[in-house]
């Protein structure tokens, strides 16, 4: 079910600066102590959750989860991150920090607030570099080379804890004083704190208000008053009593079938978290739909800000950060123009702009003149400009992602079937080889349905797409990606890729002159002054290109998650990540992050409304019994 229309932009905090310390005008309270905010954080939140000590006990591949009420200036987060850096084990382990903020600071205010802590400067700079645009929803920031993952919910606390799936090891209860902000301390919130806790979870809060202490005792925490920081005499700390604390589980074996952008991103994500994986492909990384020379980082955001739009938007902003580490290699953040290439698209864009208010770091409208200047090609109309988007070399990127000491590759292995056997999965290949794994993620694009061991049909289809390699000498080389009925990328090694055709019911794997014709016809009607006269001399038969098959779902939304919802006998441990259509480069990084969260039992980077949108069960066509 889609949520009612909600503008993507979220209202920022309004600050007053008194003696250099930020105060919320709305709540009439300070973000941190006037005495010394950093020391207060260390005393109240780190010390009383025994944090540095507990960090050092996190096992290999494990994680420690801190949840916080009120992100504010991010001071608590940075202090926890700094402690993690000095106390965490040297093996692969992840600090998760889950926080909520109803009125986020603008980047400018955040920069000013964090400048107060010179010793946190390096971490603050990294946070600022990844700080999300001020739009509603969940933002996952992958920091410190993946050793720190921040899940930032921009919205109200009640929505946040209802829609996020995680269990905290420690809580920082840091809303403003209950008298200034009672909404943050309602019974409902306290109940949510309990449901996101587990035996042994601790909490700390600067407040010592009796009502809050009693409410926390009521839901099962053993509470204690202790000495506060500075002028505050008292504060509270607590623990959810555990007769038998949960034992961390050792990572099991995970196999991933399919080494396209989805499978490679997932394999790398798990390996970075310390999980060994086997990556299997019938060919090599990026050999299928992810293997084009160039691909645009592109989404079409809906006129309604609904779940679909939210998923596309979060995927886009996540992917922009994700690819930035290959900024001098395979990622080219040139900007991207979504051209109003037809009267219908111009009308759609007009309605889109009227209904929605997007921050300019995501997109803004441009007129014809500016569109031409930014893209480097004269256009017939304006459009939407995505300043942080661009294009990728997806094949090269897939190959690089697959290289990691914890990724064992099994290429040239054609998987024929998957068999559940004694709680494990046996992966059987054509050549008679088998691999056994505890869990399997199928990321095999349009070949995925054949691998799912059930007679149920899955509503996935393959759609042929041919791209055309245009010689740079035949055209005005664009400075940025231009999208409309076709996309066009700035040339790489004298070739600019345009495409792709969208050929339903066509399974021809060979390049055809008709498809080149169609691509050239579409791109030249979108950009009539693109080609020089020399294009006339190039025979379509002489043009190069590539054919691949996208995997699309019946509702054109991706699928990510367990294949079967209920733990059906012997069929759990099977996951699907596919159906990314022609937006694979945009969706893959975030959906791989989400699936890696599930496979590792770590906090989810997506809220429930988006998790539901992605559920593979919606693709089941019939209820025929399992084979
Ligand atoms: N932990 C922060 C830090 O390290 O800077 C300070 C947090 S400040 C004391 C409390 C925060 O809670 C404010 O940023 C405020 O905007 C936020 N807040 C207040 N009411 C909220 C609500 N209903 N939902 C989510 N956040 C809320």
Gap from CA of 212 to ligand 1 centroid (Å): 17
Indicate if 137 and 32 belong to the same structural domain.
yes
**Average pLDDT of the segment spanning 185-197:** 94
Closest-CA residue, ligand 1 atom 21, reads 102
Q: Cβ(289)–Cβ(548) under 8 Å?
A: yes
Domain span including residue 512: 336-387+461-553
Residue among 11, 102, 207 to mutate when testing ligand 1 (max atoms within 8 A of CB) = 102
Ligand 1 lining (C-beta closer than 6 Å): 13, 31-32, 68, 70-76, 100-103, 156-157, 174-176, 181, 183-184
Question: Tens digits of per-residue pLDDT, 37-58?
Answer: 999 999 999 999 999 999 999 9
Is residue 271 included in any domain, yes or no?
Answer: yes
CA of 68, closest atom in ligand 1: 1
Gap from CA of 162 to ligand 1 centroid (Å): 17
**Around Cβ 208, how many Cβ atoms within 10 Å?**
16
Gap from CA of 71 to ligand 1 centroid (Å): 5
Gap from CA of 381 to ligand 1 centroid (Å): 44
| pLDDT score for 1 | 38
Is residue 627 included in any domain, yes or no?
Answer: no
Q: Which is nearest to 490 in space by CA: 294, 289, 291, 292? A: 294
Residue 446 in tokens:
């349009």
Indicate if 469 and 533 belong to the same structural domain.
yes
Is residue 293 included in any domain, yes or no?
Answer: no
The SS3 assignment for 284 reads: coil
Indicate if 350 and 438 belong to the same structural domain.
no
Name the pTM for this structure: 0.95
Question: Tens digits of per-residue pLDDT, 541-598?
Answer: 778 999 999 999 999 999 999 998 766 556 789 999 999 999 999 999 999 999 999 9
Is residue 301 included in any domain, yes or no?
Answer: no
Indicate if 118 and 187 belong to the same structural domain.
yes
Q: How far apart are CA 482 and CA 471, in angstroms?
A: 17
Bigger pLDDT: 266 vs 532:
266
Name residues whose C-beta falls within 8 Å of residue 163's C-beta, 6 or more positions apart in sequence.
138, 153, 607, 608, 609
Indicate if 418 and 536 belong to the same structural domain.
no
Gap from CA of 86 to ligand 1 centroid (Å): 27
Is residue 307 included in any domain, yes or no?
Answer: no
Please state whether the peptide bond connecting residue 138 to the residue before it is cis, i.e. omega within 30 degrees of 0. no
CA of 13, closest atom in ligand 1: 16
The SS3 assignment for 115 reads: coil
Closest-CA residue, ligand 1 atom 6, reads 72
**Average pLDDT of the segment spanning 112-130:** 97
Q: How confident is the model at residue 5 (pLDDT cuts 50, 70, 90)?
A: very low
Q: Which is nearest to 575 in space by CA: 553, 598, 593, 554? A: 598
Indicate if 539 and 421 belong to the same structural domain.
no
Residue among 38, 41, 72, 232 to mutate when testing ligand 1 (max atoms within 8 A of CB) = 72
Gap from CA of 186 to ligand 1 centroid (Å): 14
State which of 502, 533, 553 marks the end of a domain: 553
CATH value at residue 441: 3.50.50.60
Indicate if 232 and 362 belong to the same structural domain.
no
State which of 519, 553, 587 marks the end of a domain: 553
State which of 553, 569, 601 marks the end of a domain: 553
pLDDT at 266 exceeding the cut of 60: yes
Indicate if 121 and 33 belong to the same structural domain.
yes
Q: How far apart are CA 124 and CA 115, in angstroms?
A: 8
Gap from CA of 179 to ligand 1 centroid (Å): 14
Indicate if 503 and 604 belong to the same structural domain.
no
Indicate if 196 and 344 belong to the same structural domain.
no
Print the SS3 string covering 505-531: CCCCCCCCHHHHHHHHHHHHHHCCCCE
Q: How far apart are CA 575 and CA 578, in angstroms?
A: 10
DSSP labels, 344-398:
HHHHHHHHHHHH----TTT-EEE-HHHHHHHHSS--SS-EEEETT--EE-HHHHH
Bigger pLDDT: 399 vs 1:
399
Helical residues (DSSP H) of 409-555, grouped into ranges: 448-451, 513-526
């Amino acid at each position: 079910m889609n949520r009612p229309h909600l503008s993507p932009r979220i209202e920022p905090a309004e600050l007053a600066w008194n003696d250099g310390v930020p105060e919320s005008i709305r709540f009439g309270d300070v973000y941190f102590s006037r005495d010394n905010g950093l020391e207060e954080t260390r005393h109240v939140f780190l010390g009383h959750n025994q944090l540095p000590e507990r960090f050092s006990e996190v096992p290999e591949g494990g994680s420690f989860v801190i949840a916080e009420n009120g992100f504010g200036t991010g001071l608590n987060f940075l202090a926890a991150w700094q402690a993690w850096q000095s106390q965490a084990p040297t093996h692969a382990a992840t600090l998760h920090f889950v926080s909520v903020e109803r009125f986020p600071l603008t980047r400018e205010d955040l920069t000013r607030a964090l400048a107060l802590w010179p010793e946190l400067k390096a971490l603050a700079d990294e946070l600022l570099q990844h700080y999300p645009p001020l739009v509603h929803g969940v933002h996952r920031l992958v920091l410190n080379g993946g050793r720190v993952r921040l899940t930032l919910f921009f919205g109200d606390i009640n929505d946040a804890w209802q829609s996020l799936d995680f269990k905290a090891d420690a809580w920082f209860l840091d809303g403003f004083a209950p008298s200034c902000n009672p909404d943050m301390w309602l019974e409902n919130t306290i109940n949510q704190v309990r449901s996101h806790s587990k035996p042994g979870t601790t909490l700390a809060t600067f407040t010592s208000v009796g009502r809050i202490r009693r409410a926390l005792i009521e839901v099962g925490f053993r509470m204690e008053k202790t000495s506060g920081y500075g002028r505050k005499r008292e504060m509270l700390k607590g623990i959810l009593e555990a007769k038998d604390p949960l034992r961390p589980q050792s990572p099991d074996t995970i196999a991933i079938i399919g080494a396209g952008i989805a499978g490679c991103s997932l394999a790398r994500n798990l390996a970075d978290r310390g999980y060994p994986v086997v990556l299997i492909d019938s060919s090599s990384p990026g050999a299928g739909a992810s293997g084009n020379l160039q691909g645009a980082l592109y989404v079409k955001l809906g006129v309604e800000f609904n779940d679909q739009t939210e998923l596309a938007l979060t995927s886009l902003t996540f992917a922009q950060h994700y690819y930035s580490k290959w900024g001098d290699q395979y990622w080219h953040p040139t900007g991207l123009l979504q051209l109003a290439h037809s009267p219908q698209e111009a009308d759609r864009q007009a309605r889109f702009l009227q209904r929605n208010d997007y921050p300019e770091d995501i997109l803004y409208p441009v007129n014809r003149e500016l569109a031409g200047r930014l893209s480097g090609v004269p256009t017939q109309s304006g459009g939407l400009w995505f300043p942080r988007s661009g294009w990728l070399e997806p094949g090269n990127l897939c190959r690089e992602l697959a290289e990691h000491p914890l990724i064992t590759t099994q290429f040239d292995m054609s998987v024929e079937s998957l068999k559940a056997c004694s709680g494990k999965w046996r992966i059987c290949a054509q050549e008679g080889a088998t691999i056994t794994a505890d869990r399997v993620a199928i990321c095999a694009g349009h070949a995925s349905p054949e691998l799912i061991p059930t007679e149920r049909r899955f509503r996935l289809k393959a759609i042929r797409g041919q791209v055309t390699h245009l010689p740079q000498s035949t055209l005005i080389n664009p400075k940025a990606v231009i999208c409309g009925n076709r996309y066009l990328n700035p040339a790489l090694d004298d070739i600019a890729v345009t495409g792709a055709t969208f050929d339903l019911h066509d399974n021809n794997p060979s390049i055809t002159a008709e498809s080149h014709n169609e691509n050239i016809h579409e791109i030249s009607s979108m950009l009539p002054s693109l080609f020089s006269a020399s294009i006339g001399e190039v025979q379509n038969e002489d043009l190069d290109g590539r054919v691949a098959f996208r995997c699309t779902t019946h509702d054109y939304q991706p699928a990510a998650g367990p294949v079967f919802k209920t733990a059906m006998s012997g069929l759990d441990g099977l996951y699907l990540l596919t159906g990314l259509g022609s937006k694979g480069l945009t969706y893959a990084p975030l959906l791989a992050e989400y699936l890696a969260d599930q496979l590792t039992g770590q906090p989810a980077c997506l809220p429930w409304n988006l998790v539901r949108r992605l559920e593979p069960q919606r693709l089941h066509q019939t209820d025929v019994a399992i084979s």
